[in-house]
Amino acid sequence: MRRLIARLRGDAGMNTAEYAVGTLAAVAFAGILLKVLTSGNVQSALTAVIDRALK
């Protein structure tokens, strides 16, 4: 009976849940970053910076 109670109270599954939340947050951040970097204003600013650096 004590083993059953100890098993039910354990948090062995928390590591997997934490990795899942971390992965989800990283994917969301990457999506937002992609959206920002592919916007017209940011693309033109990056192109201007690269053009100035190559001249």
Q: What is the pLDDT of residues 6-31, one digit of tens each?
A: 766 766 666 778 889 999 999 999 99
- Indicate the pTM of the whole model: 0.57
Residue 33 pLDDT > 90, yes or no?
Answer: yes
Spatial contact of 37 and 43, defined as CB atoms under 8 Å apart: yes
Residue 51 pLDDT > 90, yes or no?
Answer: yes
Number of helices and strands in the chain (H, E): 3, 0
Amino acid residing at 49? V
Tokens of 26: 């990283």
Q: CA 14 to CA 28: how far, in whole Å? A: 21
